[in-house]
């Protein structure tokens, strides 16, 4: 039996790993250093505002996906199901609750401290509210609810912006002041938002490099690493801005050299298929899942999951001149807060702008905020763009819903369909 090949990592992945290790160490020592801990979510988070008060943010869904990648999620899910949580409940929720019941041990092997505050930003996922209701009971700590209007028609009206900004001003800021004993420092927040805007611009340039042939990046599997600092505990910091300057330099160097994406087993030498992917990846078998694509020369040039924490590629940047209002606009611009017609338009635009050969939907069994309406969107994109569409199914962190054989069969059929679509008369359509 041959040994597994050594995992190849991009420099940015190594840098990010070091950043995350430092973050989890800071988190593990939060109690002894006197820092307060605030649990919140990735979509619509107000990280800059929290960091301006000196608190340490925690993102339960990040803990869950980390558990999935470390093959620990199944035992946590079983713990939650023993408590009565249904098989249909979001597996992020069950993994997080089970992880808490088992000691809340983080990726570095150190315990994550319980929250001093739960800050729930509702951005299109109703599960968030029920999730934090359960955590409030288990941890016996206060909850602050930031209600974000759903952009059903795609627009964020001035009244909607004012509504969210007023909640930040009258509810979230006072809660953070009470928690930390520190006053709201608008100058500090503005400085952090300026750093956010710089990093956002560099990140967008990295993702848009995939418009070239060959793409120097994979905008889905590698993309989940690229969004890490931006969507979690680093946005608004010097470290975050520095990371994206380096990432942009690395991506532009690969672009200039005509190189393909880096995978765990090396560079993609031949780009045979360019895909747009809708939906989150599977985390329990992440490497095997990715390998099903790069073994066939399939490169994901754009994805919607990498916009779950902000659709920056459509022009949004945090504006330090309007600190609370720009945070409100950001919260409403996350992908899961858009209506189905807007999501279908995003996918159609990606197919056109990134010259994609096809659209693939990965439908997540336990994630209604992504999966609801995906077939409707798939058909809408197919009708508008004319590209072949495919549909596969898995789950976030429940390994019981990852079937390698089923996924391979469906992907084989999908790639065959792509070949037939571009085949000249009498040919098989494959690039030679």
User: Cα–Cα distances in Å, from 226 out to 193, 203, 400?
Assistant: 19, 8, 28
Range with the largest mean pLDDT of 76-85, 186-195, 304-313: 186-195
For residues 81-93, average pLDDT = 88
Q: 3-state class of 36 per DSSP?
A: coil
What confidence category does residue 1 fall into, taking pLDDT thresholds of 50, 70 and 90?
very low
CA-wise closest residue to 356 among 418, 314, 290: 418
Count of H-run helices and E-run strands, the chain: 19, 10
Indicate whether 347 pLDDT > 90.
yes
Least confident span in 118-122, 159-163, 198-202, 401-405 = 118-122
What confidence category does residue 180 fall into, taking pLDDT thresholds of 50, 70 and 90?
very high
CA-wise closest residue to 199 among 173, 230, 175: 230
% of the chain surpassing 70 pLDDT: 95
- The pLDDT tens digits for 255-309 are 999 999 999 999 999 999 999 999 999 999 999 999 999 999 999 999 999 999 8
Indicate whether 427 pLDDT > 50.
no
- The pLDDT tens digits for 99-112 are 999 999 987 788 99
Indicate whether 432 pLDDT > 60.
no
User: Cα–Cα distances in Å, from 329 out to 143, 159, 176, 226, 235?
Assistant: 22, 11, 20, 22, 16
User: Cα–Cα distances in Å, from 206 out to 182, 199, 392?
Assistant: 37, 11, 27
For residues 353-358, average pLDDT = 98
| Beta carbons of 164 and 328 less than 8 angstroms apart | yes
Indicate whether 431 pLDDT > 50.
no
User: Beta 117-122 vs 37-39: how paired, if at all?
Assistant: parallel
What confidence category does residue 4 fall into, taking pLDDT thresholds of 50, 70 and 90?
low
How far, in Å, CA of 73 to CA of 85, rounded?
A: 15
What confidence category does residue 3 fall into, taking pLDDT thresholds of 50, 70 and 90?
low
Q: What is the DSSP letter of 171?
A: I
pLDDT for res 45: 93
User: Beta 117-122 vs 273-278: how paired, if at all?
Assistant: unpaired
How far, in Å, CA of 27 to CA of 62, rounded?
A: 14
Indicate whether 88 pLDDT > 90.
no
- The pLDDT tens digits for 15-53 are 888 898 899 889 999 999 999 999 999 998 999 999 999
pTM of structure: 0.92
Distance of CA 339 to the CA centre of its chain: 18
pLDDT for res 426: 45
Average pLDDT in the chain = 92
CA end-to-end distance (rounded Å), the chain: 32
């Amino acid at each position: 039996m041959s040994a597994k090949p050594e995992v190849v990592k991009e420099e940015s992945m190594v840098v990010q790993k070091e950043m995350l290790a430092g973050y989890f160490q800071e988190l593990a020592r939060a109690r002894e250093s006197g820092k307060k801990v605030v649990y919140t979510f990735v979509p619509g988070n107000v990280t800059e505002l929290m960091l301006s008060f000196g608190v340490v943010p925690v993102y339960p869904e990040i803990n869950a996906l980390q558990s999935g990648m470390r093959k620990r999620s199944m035992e946590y899910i079983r713990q939650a199901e023993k408590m009565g949580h249904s098989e249909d409940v979001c597996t992020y929720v069950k993994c997080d609750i089970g992880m808490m019941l088992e000691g809340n041990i983080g990726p570095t092997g150190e315990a994550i401290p319980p929250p001093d505050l739960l800050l729930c930003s509702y951005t299109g996922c109703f599960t968030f509210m029920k999730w934090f209701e359960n955590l409030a009971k288990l941890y016996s700590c206060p909850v602050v609810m930031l209600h974000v209007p759903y952009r059903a028609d795609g627009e964020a009206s001035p009244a909607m912006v004012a509504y969210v900004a007023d909640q930040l001003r009258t509810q979230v800021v006072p809660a953070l002041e009470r928690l930390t004993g520190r006053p709201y420092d608008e100058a500090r927040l503005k400085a952090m938002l300026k750093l956010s805007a710089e990093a956002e611009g560099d990140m967008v340039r990295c993702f848009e490099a995939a418009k070239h042939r060959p793409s120097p990046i994979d905008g889905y599997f590698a993309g989940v690493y690229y969004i890490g600092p931006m969507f979690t505990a680093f946005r608004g910091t010097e470290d975050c801005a520095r990371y994206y300057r380096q990432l942009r330099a690395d991506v532009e160097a690969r672009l200039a050299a005509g190189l393909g994406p880096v995978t765990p087993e090396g560079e993609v030498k031949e780009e045979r298929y360019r895909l747009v992917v809708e939906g989150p990846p599977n985390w329990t078998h992440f490497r095997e899942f990715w390998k099903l694509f790069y073994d066939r020369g399939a490169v994901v040039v754009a994805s919607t999951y990498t916009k779950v924490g902000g659709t920056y590629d459509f022009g949004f940047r945090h504006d330090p001149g309007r600190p609370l209002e720009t945070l409100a606009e950001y919260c409403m611009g996350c992908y899961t807060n858009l209506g189905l017609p807007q999501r279908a338009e995003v996918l159609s635009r990606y197919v056109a702008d990134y010259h994609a050969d096809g659209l693939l939907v990965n439908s997540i069994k336990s994630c209604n905020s992504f999966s609801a309406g995906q077939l409707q969107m798939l058909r809408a994109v197919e009708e508008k763009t004319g590209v072949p569409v495919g549909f596969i199914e898995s789950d976030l962190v429940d390994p019981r819903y990852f079937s390698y054989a089923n996924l391979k069969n469906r992907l084989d059929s999908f790639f065959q369909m792509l070949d037939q679509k571009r085949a000249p008369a009498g040919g098989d359509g494959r690039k030679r």
